[in-house]
Structure 1
Amino acid sequence: MQTETIIYIIIAGIAALSLALFQYIYKSKIKGFLRYVLFSLRALAIFGILLLLINPKFESATYFNEKPTLVIALDNSESIKYLEQDSVALEVIGRILENPKIQRRFNVDQYSFGKNIKVFDSISFSERQSNASGALKQLQEVYKNKTAPIVFISDGNQTLGSDYSYVANTFNQPVYPLILGDSTVYSDLRIKQLNVNRYTFLKNRFPVEIILSYTGEEYVNSELKIWRGNSVVFRKQLQFDNIKTSEIVNTTLLANSVGIKTFRVEIVPLNQEKNKINNYKNFAVEVIDQKTNIAIVYDQLHPDLGVLKKAIESNEQRSVSILKPNEYLNQINDFQLVILYQPNNNFNMILNQIKRQNLNTFIITGSGTDYEFINNTHLKVLWEISNQTEDFQPELNRNFNTFIIDNITFEDYPPLKSEFGGFNFLVPADVILYKTVNGINTGDAMLATYAFDNMKHAVLVGEGIWRWRAQTYLDTESFTDFDNFIGKLIQYLSSNKKRKRLNVDYKSFYNGNDDVIISAQYFNENYEFDTKASLNIQLKNNDTSETREIPLLLDGSNYTVDLSAIDAGEYDFRISHSAEAISFSGQFRILDYNVEQQFLNADISKLNLLAENTDGKAYYPSESALFIDELLTDNRYSTIQKSTKNIVPLIDWKYLLGIIAICLFVEWFLRKYNGLI
């Protein structure tokens, strides 16, 4: 309490006593004990009222003990079961949880992880991917302000994400790996990685890169083969020893027919090999007979040009050329779509050709755009010219239904620089993104599509989309979501197919550990997205003739079905509406490959490095008793006494108001009873 407040309280006490003395003691006609009772009651009442006016504040401290948290993170991937460590893992967890000293010393939180981390509930060791770095990052974020050592129960084999042993350099929590798996080194040949493009073109030779590795001490011979059906299309003799432990093999294969072509890479196993599953791998390519050529026409250089080229060409079916206006005019017949980047009067001849040939366009405006020029074209858009610029952020139109948008929301994306105002479309338009300022939707389109005279067009208002691609990488550590979004926009613009009420998004083939997710959008007769549609997928395995029917579930603006759990093979599918004669049929293939079965041993070196980088220590399951003892004796994990300080103003103390009221009532009653009123 401040000195000034104490002085005010003393003055209030003196004032209360003085007023009470003057009324009941000084020259008072009241005699005997009653005068002193009334004096006390009046003094207390006045002092209480003055205290409420002063309203002093009091501090109170509440003390409590906070135990450290012991975080258990269990690898729930298939590799644990494949290495026959599933029962060992559960036994180790049981020893930790059943130890009474652990329960008294720590609050225990349990998690399991595969592709994602989740609260420990049921353990099946069936996750098809393991992302150890992602799990550790999330635990670090959750417990960054606590004392929370992490017990990391895993074989250390990771199939997704960054290298967890180096990511851990930024952690402030010790990590204690409990190593699951055999530490014995066996001789082993394996296909470590296979790189091949998803698409190729008819009559072209496509490259295949195979990275092979050998673990062992002896000199060995083997042979690499690439099979197509029952025919060997490539073979090579290989030699390895304790010095030459890896080799990269590059070759090209001929695409001589259209469609999905599957291949099998095999390195002949050694006689004594323990794990032969990692000696082969299936892959596929889709052979197509044409390529979409797209021109980006510009009059001034900008980083957006390179980003557009990278995003569009992430799909090997598309090729992008960045050209000046006169260069484009000389080869206009070579392209199926033209992107006009910040057009001005120099684009006049191009616009005339676009009108004459009914070409589809994608216009991107910016600081170098001549809006009067655009207003005078045939493109059915008028710009409200203001000559003032502003940074606008995007907001996704959840009702957009021209094509499927998934995995990208544009939330917290950087703004684009654009002029005030917006385009007025002279024909019906579908808005993909709206312009917002400080979170307020302006109602103007930032990105929209529209069509007329058998032509499709899109307009993006603003420059700087290179920041969007960078933001996608910051959010997901991949450019895929942004590239897919641009790819779908380009696919829509480069196609002259009529609009359909049922749109389906799927891949022609999936690798063995890919998520097999099929998305669909269904529209009513007015082409409005129908959130009450009943869609089902009929799935047939062509290898076994097994059929099944699965409903599609509404997920935001899409209907989706997750088929990741189905077996490898070739499938025909048909998506249909239960009440209308509308359907879509297709085919896809799932390649036989299980990345979690490619490992023979625990990755002991990485787990030891993880412990070293986080000031922890690695243990084997047989050392679990030693681990528990050392954990209990570590002074870093002592119970901490903490306090919570509360500052409470006197006016919040309701009892004082009650005391004042009682004093005044008793004083009034005594005066009334004794005839003094």
Structure 2
Amino acid sequence: MQKETLLLIIGAAILALGIAVFQYFYKAKYKTGRNKVYGLIRFLSVFGLLLLLINPTYKQVTYVTVKPSLAVALDNTSSIRHLGYDDESEDLVSRFRESESLNNTFDVQFYSFGQEFKRLDTLDFKEKQTSISNVLHSLEDIYGTEIAPVILLTDGNQTYGEAYQYTSKNLNQQIYPVVLGDTVTYDDLKLGQVNVNRYAYINNKFPVEIFASYNGNNTVNSQLTVSSGGKVLHSERVAFSPQRKSQVFNLLLPATSVGVRQYSVQLTATASEKNTKNNSKNFAIEVIDQKTNVLIVSNIVHPDVGMLKKSIESNRLRTVTFSNAVESINKLNDYELVILYQPDASFKNVYEQLEGLSKNSITIGGANTEWNAVNTFQNTINQEVTGQQEEVQGALNVNFSAFVIEDIGFSDFPPLKTSFGDVNFKTEVDVALTQTIGSLNTENPLIATTDTNGHREVFILGEGLWRWRAQSFIDNSSFEKFDNLIDNLVQYAASNKKKSRLNIDYDSFYYGNGDVTLYAQYFDKNYTFDSRARLSIRVIHADTKKVTDIPLLLKKNTYQVAMNNLEPGNYKFTVSVIDQGLARSGSFTIIPFDIEQQFLNANVTDLRALASNTEAALYTSAMGDQLIDNLVRDTRYKPVQKSTEKIVPLIDWKWLLFMIASLLSIEWFMRKYNGLT
């Protein structure tokens, strides 16, 4: 307490005492033994009122006992049921919930994981993918540096993500794996990764790379067979042994018919094998009869040019050739699409040939573009010539109607260098991205498309696209999203399809362990994106004729639907705009594959390393009671008493107000009772 406050309290006590003495002893008409009581009451009530006016503060310390946290994370994937440990894992969770000693020692929280890590709600053991490394990162985010051991109920078999035995080296929490699965090693032949291109060309042969492995202590023989449509395309005898546990097979298979073709790879099982589901694997390719040849015409060396080749050829349906303006003359007709990179005055003959051939093109402008010449070569765009450059970013136009375009973070991408000045189009234009400088939208197009009587052009009015691709990789750990944008621009420019108010984007086939997602965009009669529309998809299984109706959900400027629950097979679908009489149809195939059923044993080796790296121990599913007992007895996990100190003003002490009111009431009652005024 401060010295000034203490002096005020002493002064208040003296003043209250003086008032009591003055009223009941110095000025009192009748002096009786009751005056001492009156004086005491008056002293206390006045002193209390003065204390409230002074309002001193005092420290209030509260103590609370905090139990350490305990996270119980349960593997909810189909491999647990496949191994026959689903009932046992549910029983373990019930024992942890009902253990009085465990819940008295810990604040127990329950989670489940598969493709996602989430609070435990219900268990169905239907998740198709496992990422234990994602579980460890999520727990680290939740509990940070606090004491929070983890019970991990899993078979230890991970289908994607980082190697969790190494991820665990940086964790603060102890991880106690409980093994769900057989720890005994059996003979097992397994087909691993099958690498194949997504596309092949008719009457060509396409490469297939097959990885096969063996787990056992004997020498075994098997037959590797690749078949399609009931016809065997390749067959060979293979042998495995403890010294030769893995093999790689490189095959060339024929593409004889157009469309999606499914293939099956089979390893003949040995007599002692328990799990034969991992002896077979399916894959698919789409056989096409044409390829898009793209010519990039440029007179300068720029990182964008090399980036465009890599991005375009990420789709194996595309091939890219380079040329300068002079050398490209008389061979433009050999290509389905021509990209003009930063054209200058030497491009005059190129533009004349493109117009004569009605050839579609993509024009990319930048600091080296000679717009004073280009403006005279063509009749589509006019760029104001100022001789100055500026850096701009892009903002997605939700009313862009040429095709489905996803916002991949354009506003956060590095700026592109473009020519300063107004941009005017002499024909109808569909703007995909507009130029922005900071928070200012200039309304000038950054990426735009035109379609005049079937003649299509795309304009990208900025250089530095290679930075966009690099940033996209940093954001997503993949070039896929940016490459899809370039692929859509190339596909649009190379095609002569008519403009549609309903555009859909989907793959011709999906694998059963991945996402099955379809995207759509709908535009009104003015080709303005309509976010109020209701879209639905009707999916029909080709064999069972089962009909599934699903609404499409709006996300930003795209309608989309996830169909991950569909069974493998061939499907026909129709996307309809409700009450508008507009629909688009198509078909796709879901290739059967359940990666979670490829495992025969629990991965004890990696789980033991996980426990060791975190200074914990490995347990089997039969050791649940022992795990509970060891956690309760572990001296590292003890409740912690925490204190909280608060500075509280006296005026917050309600009992003081009650006491003052009581004292004044008692004094008034006693005076009235004894006839005093």
Partner residue, 1:130: 130
Output the amino acid matched with 2:631.
L
Cα gap change, 1:47 to 1:599, in 2 (>3 Å): closer
Q: CA offsets, 1:611-666, max 9 Å, x none?
A: 23333322111122222222223333322333455578x799799xx99xx9xxxx
Secondary structure in structure 1 of the residue aligned to 2:351: helix
Cα gap change, 1:554 to 1:323, in 2 (>3 Å): same
How far does residue 16 in structure 1 lie from its aligned partner after superposition? 10
Conserved in 2, the CA contact under 8 Å of 1:115 and 1:160? Answer: no
Q: Residues of 2 paired with 1:74 and 1:113: CA distance?
A: 6
How far does residue 411 in structure 1 lie from its aligned partner after superposition? 6.0
Give matches, 1:105-184, under 5 Å.
105-184=105-184
Q: Residues of 2 paired with 1:446 and 1:39: CA distance?
A: 83
Q: CA offsets, 1:550-588, max 9 Å, x none?
A: 032222233333322222222222223343432222222
Q: Residues of 2 paired with 1:58 and 1:435: CA distance?
A: 61
Secondary structure in structure 1 of the residue aligned to 2:326: helix
Cα gap change, 1:641 to 1:380, in 2 (>3 Å): same
Partner residue, 1:554: 553
Cα gap change, 1:370 to 1:73, in 2 (>3 Å): farther
Cα gap change, 1:603 to 1:643, in 2 (>3 Å): same
Q: Residues of 1 paired with 2:102 and 2:213: CA distance?
A: 43
Give matches, 1:59-458, under 5 Å.
62-329=62-329, 331-378=331-378, 379-383=380-384, 385=386, 387=388, 389-390=390-391, 392-406=392-406, 408-410=408-410, 412-418=412-418, 423-439=423-439, 441-452=441-452, 454-458=454-458
Cα gap change, 1:99 to 1:394, in 2 (>3 Å): farther
Q: Residues of 1 paired with 2:240 and 2:454: CA distance?
A: 62
Cα gap change, 1:318 to 1:564, in 2 (>3 Å): same
Q: Residues of 1 paired with 2:429 and 2:281: CA distance?
A: 47
Output the amino acid matched with 2:482.
F
Conserved in 2, the CA contact under 8 Å of 1:508 and 1:588? Answer: yes
Conserved in 1, the CA contact under 8 Å of 2:332 and 2:354? Answer: no
How far does residue 153 in structure 1 lie from its aligned partner after superposition? 1.2
Partner residue, 2:483: 483
How far does residue 333 in structure 1 lie from its aligned partner after superposition? 2.2
Q: Select between 73-82 and 621-630 the one with higher mean Cα deviation.
A: 621-630
How far does residue 266 in structure 1 lie from its aligned partner after superposition? 0.9
Q: Select between 393-402 and 520-529 the one with higher mean Cα deviation.
A: 393-402
Conserved in 2, the CA contact under 8 Å of 1:165 and 1:610? Answer: yes
Q: Residues of 2 paired with 1:140 and 1:347: CA distance?
A: 58
Secondary structure in structure 2 of the residue aligned to 1:81: helix
Conserved in 2, the CA contact under 8 Å of 1:297 and 1:325? Answer: yes
Partner residue, 1:607: 607
Secondary structure in structure 2 of the residue aligned to 1:510: strand
How far does residue 206 in structure 1 lie from its aligned partner after superposition? 0.4
Secondary structure in structure 1 of the residue aligned to 2:353: helix
Output the amino acid matched with 2:568.
A
How far does residue 457 in structure 1 lie from its aligned partner after superposition? 2.8
Conserved in 2, the CA contact under 8 Å of 1:422 and 1:445? Answer: no
Q: Residues of 1 paired with 2:435 and 2:59: CA distance?
A: 50
Q: Select between 430-439 and 174-183 the one with higher mean Cα deviation.
A: 430-439
* Sequence identity percentage: 39
Output the amino acid matched with 1:587.
S
Output the amino acid matched with 1:76.
N
Conserved in 1, the CA contact under 8 Å of 2:537 and 2:552? Answer: no
Output the amino acid matched with 1:380.
I
Q: Residues of 2 paired with 1:651 and 1:396: CA distance?
A: 59
Conserved in 1, the CA contact under 8 Å of 2:64 and 2:641? Answer: yes
Secondary structure in structure 1 of the residue aligned to 2:585: strand
Output the amino acid matched with 1:88.
E
Q: CA offsets, 1:350-375, max 9 Å, x none?
A: 33333333333333344444444444
Output the amino acid matched with 2:383.
L
Output the amino acid matched with 1:594.
D
Q: Select between 462-471 and 277-286 the one with higher mean Cα deviation.
A: 462-471
How far does residue 94 in structure 1 lie from its aligned partner after superposition? 1.4
Cα gap change, 1:640 to 1:534, in 2 (>3 Å): same
Q: Residues of 2 paired with 1:338 and 1:474: CA distance?
A: 30
How far does residue 41 in structure 1 lie from its aligned partner after superposition? 12
How far does residue 263 in structure 1 lie from its aligned partner after superposition? 1.4
Q: Residues of 2 paired with 1:118 and 1:377: CA distance?
A: 60
Cα gap change, 1:176 to 1:210, in 2 (>3 Å): same
Give matches, 1:554-573, under 5 Å.
554-556=553-555, 557-573=557-573
Partner residue, 1:524: 524
How far does residue 39 in structure 1 lie from its aligned partner after superposition? 13
Conserved in 2, the CA contact under 8 Å of 1:512 and 1:594? Answer: yes
How far does residue 120 in structure 1 lie from its aligned partner after superposition? 0.9
How far does residue 214 in structure 1 lie from its aligned partner after superposition? 0.6
Conserved in 2, the CA contact under 8 Å of 1:307 and 1:466? Answer: yes
Secondary structure in structure 1 of the residue aligned to 2:167: helix
Conserved in 1, the CA contact under 8 Å of 2:298 and 2:342? Answer: yes
Output the amino acid matched with 1:256.
T
Q: Residues of 2 paired with 1:430 and 1:311: CA distance?
A: 23
How far does residue 212 in structure 1 lie from its aligned partner after superposition? 0.5
Partner residue, 1:537: 537
Q: CA offsets, 1:279-303, max 9 Å, x none?
A: 1112111111111122333344343
Secondary structure in structure 1 of the residue aligned to 2:104: helix
Output the amino acid matched with 2:547.
R
Partner residue, 2:597: 597
Cα gap change, 1:442 to 1:172, in 2 (>3 Å): farther
Q: Residues of 2 paired with 1:88 and 1:348: CA distance?
A: 76
Kindly report the root-mean-square deviation, in angstroms, between the aligned alpha carbons of the 2 structures: 3.8
How far does residue 48 in structure 1 lie from its aligned partner after superposition? 8.8
Q: CA offsets, 1:210-238, max 9 Å, x none?
A: 00001111111111111122221111211
Secondary structure in structure 1 of the residue aligned to 2:224: strand
Q: CA offsets, 1:160-195, max 9 Å, x none?
A: 222222233332222221111101111111111101
Secondary structure in structure 2 of the residue aligned to 1:637: coil
Q: Which runs of 5+ in 1 are unaligned?
A: 25-30, 663-677
How far does residue 443 in structure 1 lie from its aligned partner after superposition? 4.1
Output the amino acid matched with 1:271.
A
Q: Residues of 1 paired with 2:343 and 2:451: CA distance?
A: 20
How far does residue 46 in structure 1 lie from its aligned partner after superposition? 10
Q: Residues of 1 paired with 2:383 and 2:173: CA distance?
A: 58
Q: Residues of 1 paired with 2:293 and 2:58: CA distance?
A: 76
Q: Residues of 2 paired with 1:175 and 1:248: CA distance?
A: 36
How far does residue 426 in structure 1 lie from its aligned partner after superposition? 3.9
Q: Select between 418-427 and 245-254 the one with higher mean Cα deviation.
A: 418-427
Secondary structure in structure 2 of the residue aligned to 1:326: coil
How far does residue 336 in structure 1 lie from its aligned partner after superposition? 2.0
Q: Residues of 2 paired with 1:597 and 1:206: CA distance?
A: 28
Cα gap change, 1:380 to 1:419, in 2 (>3 Å): closer
TM-score (norm 1): 0.84
Q: Residues of 2 paired with 1:471 and 1:128: CA distance?
A: 31
How far does residue 423 in structure 1 lie from its aligned partner after superposition? 3.2
Secondary structure in structure 2 of the residue aligned to 1:257: coil
How far does residue 327 in structure 1 lie from its aligned partner after superposition? 4.1
Q: Select between 433-442 and 239-248 the one with higher mean Cα deviation.
A: 433-442
Cα gap change, 1:48 to 1:81, in 2 (>3 Å): closer
Conserved in 2, the CA contact under 8 Å of 1:407 and 1:481? Answer: no
TM-score (norm 2): 0.84
Q: Select between 333-342 and 202-211 the one with higher mean Cα deviation.
A: 333-342
Q: Residues of 1 paired with 2:65 and 2:534: CA distance?
A: 55
Conserved in 1, the CA contact under 8 Å of 2:399 and 2:527? Answer: no
Secondary structure in structure 2 of the residue aligned to 1:635: coil
